[in-house]
Chain A
Amino acid sequence: MKKEDSKPSLEARRGFLAKLAGAATCAGAAVGAATLGAVPSVSAKTEAPADGESFPTKDYDWTKHQWGFGVDATKCIGCLRCVEACKTENNVPRNAHQFRTWVERYVHIEGEEEVRIDSQADPVNIEASGSEKEFRFANRYKDAKVDKAFFVPKLCNHCTHPSCVQVCPTGATYRTKDGVVLIDHGYCIGCRYCVQACPYGARYFNEEEGVSDKCTWCYHRITKGLQPACVEVCPVGARVFGDQKDKQSPISLFIRNNRVQVLKAEMGNAPNVFYVGIDKEVN
């Protein structure tokens, strides 16, 4: 190579490298800013999506409501109508492994230290129902001496600080202004990080759709003034739903008139499903 050629070439390359360095600095600054931006919202955990015209119910104002859900476990009879209604209403896959809501049964048998727990998804109960499309609790303890037994309905807790929303890489899972955690199925990439992050096992992955799914408190119903399907069909009023902003709503009265508790309070998620009548083993 000729010596005189090298100088301009070197300068040109230096210029190029300087530009490259500039670009790298800008990129670094952008990442840094993004990280800083993330810091305060990590504790806040959710971002409300923008109000848009895409909202399905025109006369519904989501700033006027704060939905809440109550479960009175002392009333639940384990009939599982809620589970079946939910599967039908929300097109939940008809199998024994994917649920938006389920019911747990806790049985203390005399002489046993450990409580026995099952749900409608337990193989014994599936065998009793004869199908993965219909659910019932098998009468498996009829010959045992039962000290104490009760049912606990479970569903998404629509947490104030939802772990699923925190970890969702795209923001497809978000918390609405009226306090419901929803999933944008058109934006979810199907990574299932949210399924892993939920401490309550409330989420499942819909293989056919390729997206995560969970209870929405029947958002399509509640925004039209209806009750969630599971509440609607419960024959004993074990499930209570309403607007926490309305002091006379069923949920406000439920919270006011009872000593309520939430599941896994130590997680810091601040659930919005409030329980009455559950025992120490329930988590």
Chain B
Amino acid sequence: MQAIIDFAPYTGWVYPNETVFEWSVLIAVYPYLTGLVAGAFTVSSLYQVFGFERLKPVAHMALLTSLSFMIFVPTPLLLHLGHPERAFNSTITPHLTSAMAMFGFFASFYVALLILEGWFAYRPFIVQQAQKQTGLLGKFYGLLTLGSSDVSERAMRVDRKWIFALAVIGIPAAHGLHGYVGFMYGSLKSREWWSSDLMPIIFLFSAIISGVSLLAVLYVVSCKLRKIPVDLGCLKGLAYTIWAFIMVALVLEALEFANIVYKGREGVDVIMQYVTGPLLVPYFILQFAVGAITPFLWLSYMIWRGTTGKALVVGVTVCACLVLFSVFMMRWNVVIGGQEISKTGKGLLSYHLHWGGKEGGLVAILLTMAPLGLLYVLTRLFPPWADDATHAHS
């Protein structure tokens, strides 16, 4: 029989049961997707609640992106479970002291909120399509009107109030959801690498920069595909947002690391051995130097020089891609990195990524990309472009 368990090589002293990595790359993908949801929602809120007019061209796309990714958030978890058919046990009979048990409730609440906000935002479009389209598509939109085809100014006013209210509720919901994901790691005292009060807030800020970056990339790509000029004001708005939040994210991560080193509790020697050894490239080079400091400096330069035109489009897009990569590395370094440091504080393990299998690299890539496929379908059904009828509510 083929070995179903992967044993990790190690150095130093580790507990015998630790030689199996229980949380795979999929558990790094899970907070990555959740973070993109929260970050994309931030953009939507900046427009809907805080009146950042220049973000109007991406406001609807932000909602669709958030929804597309949120629908896929549970998939890495379900693939990881030993008994996925029992997944609802944690919702039907939640154990109230468990951070994980509440996930189903938070996630469901947030999905409902997103769908509701999306429905209000797209209602004029849905009504219009229901009247215009025939056949199956007409029936589909007709069903989505939920029996209300009133798009009078009075009705629109009510709708706008709802959108505003839902966007306001959505801010703590989206950010709470992701901060809570950080709490799931930060609250575990068994691992020094995770056990930090700063963890939820670090997760939150990295989520914001990843979601905003994703929208910047999606926006530029969508403009290219639709052969329309990129709204530089909007792109600059996204760039400013990334720039502002990346600073906070960097400071928080630095503080977190400084805390571990400065407190120097039992096991710090192994942590230092780890960060200066196996983690040097993924942590200091890829996550920080390449993924965070480079885009930060580049964005700062562009803001300082007032860069515009193609240089701005290329610059922001590349920076956004780097940030997306950096945040994935952050998830990796937390989830996989945490398990590579033994609970004994006296040894290190190394995770070997397999490409095949249900928890392998290919599935991880597929799950990260799948929401983009859904997003494509959603943009066909509900065009988010500012030049379409969808913006009756703007």
In the assembled complex, the Cα of A251 lies from the Cα of B49 at a distance in Å of 64
Contact A38/B93 with A199-B190, A200-B15 known, Cβ cut-off 8 Å: no
A95:B5 contact, CB within 8 angstroms: yes
In the assembled complex, the Cα of A31 lies from the Cα of B102 at a distance in Å of 9
- Determine the chain B residues whose CB is within 8 A of the CB of A195 once the complex forms: 17, 22
Using a CB-CB cutoff of 8 Å, which residues 1-39 of chain A contact chain B? 1, 3, 5-6, 9-10, 12-14, 16-17, 20, 27, 31, 34-35, 37-38
B97:A166 contact, CB within 8 angstroms: yes
Segment from A51-59, A142-150, A203-211, A227-235 that makes contact with B = A203-211
**In angstroms, how far is the closest chain A Cβ from the Cβ of B193?**
11
- Determine the chain B residues whose CB is within 8 A of the CB of A190 once the complex forms: 81-83, 86
A211:B190 contact, CB within 8 angstroms: no
Q: Interface residues of A, CB < 8 Å — how many?
A: 70
**Per-residue interface assignment for chain B, residues 145 to 172, with 1 indicating a CB less than 8 Å from any chain A CB and 0 otherwise:** 0111111101100100010000000000
B16:A210 contact, CB within 8 angstroms: no
Using a CB-CB cutoff of 8 Å, which residues 70-126 of chain B contact chain A? 77, 80-84, 86-87, 89-90, 93-103, 105, 109, 116
> Chain A residue with minimal CB distance to B92?
A170
In the assembled complex, the Cα of A98 lies from the Cα of B152 at a distance in Å of 67
> Chain B residue with minimal CB distance to A44?
B97
By CB atoms of chain A within 10 A, which of B7, B80, B98 has the most?
A: B98
Q: Does B189 contact A (CB under 8 A)?
A: yes
B95:A97 contact, CB within 8 angstroms: no
Q: Does B369 contact A (CB under 8 A)?
A: no
**In angstroms, how far is the closest chain B Cβ from the Cβ of A41?**
6
> Chain A residue with minimal CB distance to B190?
A199
In the assembled complex, the Cα of A88 lies from the Cα of B151 at a distance in Å of 72
A169:B150 contact, CB within 8 angstroms: no
A167:B188 contact, CB within 8 angstroms: yes
B17:A167 contact, CB within 8 angstroms: no
In the assembled complex, the Cα of A44 lies from the Cα of B17 at a distance in Å of 28
Q: Does B344 contact A (CB under 8 A)?
A: yes
Q: Does B343 contact A (CB under 8 A)?
A: yes
In the assembled complex, the Cα of A173 lies from the Cα of B99 at a distance in Å of 14
- Determine the chain A residues whose CB is within 8 A of the CB of B82 once the complex forms: 188-192, 205-207, 209-212
Contact A119/B16 with A10-B152, A14-B158, A196-B191 known, Cβ cut-off 8 Å: yes
* Residue in A10, A168, A210, A283 whose CB lies within 8 Å of B158: A10
- Determine the chain B residues whose CB is within 8 A of the CB of A199 once the complex forms: 189-190, 343
- Determine the chain B residues whose CB is within 8 A of the CB of A13 once the complex forms: 148, 150, 155, 158
Q: Does B18 contact A (CB under 8 A)?
A: yes
> Chain B residue with minimal CB distance to A34?
B96
B98:A283 contact, CB within 8 angstroms: no
Q: Does B392 contact A (CB under 8 A)?
A: no
> Chain A residue with minimal CB distance to B187?
A167
A204:B17 contact, CB within 8 angstroms: yes
- Determine the chain A residues whose CB is within 8 A of the CB of B83 once the complex forms: 188-190, 210-211
In the assembled complex, the Cα of A192 lies from the Cα of B17 at a distance in Å of 13
> Chain B residue with minimal CB distance to A269?
B189
B17:A201 contact, CB within 8 angstroms: yes
- Determine the chain B residues whose CB is within 8 A of the CB of A210 once the complex forms: 81-83
Using a CB-CB cutoff of 8 Å, which residues 103-119 of chain A contact chain B? 117-119
**In angstroms, how far is the closest chain B Cβ from the Cβ of A219?**
20
In the assembled complex, the Cα of A16 lies from the Cα of B109 at a distance in Å of 18
> Chain A residue with minimal CB distance to B154?
A10
A9:B149 contact, CB within 8 angstroms: yes
Q: Does B346 contact A (CB under 8 A)?
A: yes
A202:B17 contact, CB within 8 angstroms: yes
Q: Does A265 contact B (CB under 8 A)?
A: no
Using a CB-CB cutoff of 8 Å, which residues 165-199 of chain B contact chain A? 184, 188-191
**Per-residue interface assignment for chain A, residues 85 to 110, with 1 indicating a CB less than 8 Å from any chain B CB and 0 otherwise:** 00000000001111100100000000
Using a CB-CB cutoff of 8 Å, which residues 116-149 of chain B contact chain A? 116, 146-149
By CB atoms of chain B within 10 A, which of A12, A98, A154, A201 has the most?
A: A201
Q: Does B20 contact A (CB under 8 A)?
A: yes
In the assembled complex, the Cα of A210 lies from the Cα of B151 at a distance in Å of 53
Q: Does A62 contact B (CB under 8 A)?
A: no
Q: Does B34 contact A (CB under 8 A)?
A: no
By CB atoms of chain A within 10 A, which of B77, B96, B346 has the most?
A: B96
**In angstroms, how far is the closest chain A Cβ from the Cβ of B156?**
10
A207:B23 contact, CB within 8 angstroms: no
- Determine the chain A residues whose CB is within 8 A of the CB of B152 once the complex forms: 1, 3, 6, 10
A98:B150 contact, CB within 8 angstroms: no
Give me 12 A-to-B residue pairs in the complex whose CB atoms sit less than 8 angstroms apart, sorted by A's number.
A9-B155, A27-B109, A34-B94, A35-B102, A98-B20, A99-B16, A117-B13, A192-B23, A196-B22, A196-B191, A198-B190, A204-B20
Identify the 4 closest CB pairs spanning chains A and B, nearest first.
Answer: A190-B82, A201-B15, A210-B82, A121-B16
